[in-house]
Amino acid sequence: MTTTTEERGRAHGYADLSGLMALMTGDEKHGPAATSTLDVLWVLYDRVLRVGPERADDPGRDRFLLSKGHGPMAYYAVLAAKGFVPVDWLDGFGTYDSPLGHHPDRTLVPGVEIGSGSLGHGLPIGVGTALGLRAQGLGEPRVWVLTGDAELDEGSNHEAIAFAGAAGLERLHTVVVDNASARHARPGGVTARFAAAGWSTATVDGRDHAALYAAFTAPHPGRPHVVVARVEPKSA
């Protein structure tokens, strides 16, 4: 009996992710940036996102945008575990002829929605994506953007935060992986910045899968939603 690509991917679980990441070697891995996102990515792809290899082009799919694209190792490991890309691509990570570059490329990697890596542009793209889906009358797809806390030093994000709150973009979700690397902290923490703009907010332990799932699935009628996932400091 044959299995689909998605079924083969699902043979890999959370316990396999460290082994999948270990297949990716070489320079410029941005290991701390990658490992800080691992649990968030797994919970999203395993339990929340309505997307899979067999429906990667389905107009009704959820959209996941990795704004924190300068450390994509965990992202690639999860995509391999879920069957989007072959596991044997991983050991070529970052090489000249590999589709798995140091920044994800949407034209080369199945399941990747945007090319990313330049800090501060993922959330504005997420706002535009949510507006585009609304304009098309597609009310079911959700848009998820994963950013790092340091990205909130970029002014483009603050414009996006302010606009999304005022526009009531209910289908827009942001996950901020907070590893205490931002230079311009806001008094009261990251959550306060979003709350001031009218977002629904939650702050959780970024390694606690049950807490992440509860925060990701919390109702937030009429408002965009942000989950601040706190992990160990980057310098630790």
pLDDT averages per 10-residue partition of the chain, 236 residues: 39 86 76 85 97 93 93 93 95 92 94 88 96 95 95 91 97 94 67 94 97 98 97 76
Confidence (pLDDT) at 120? 83
Confidence (pLDDT) at 85? 95
Confidence (pLDDT) at 33? 73
Residue 36 tokens read as 């800080």
Confidence (pLDDT) at 118? 79
Give the global pTM: 0.91
Token match 């953007």: residue? 145
Contact 44, 144 (CB under 8 A): yes
First to last CA, the chain: 48
Residue 148 tokens read as 């790092």
Confidence (pLDDT) at 8? 41
Confidence (pLDDT) at 97? 92
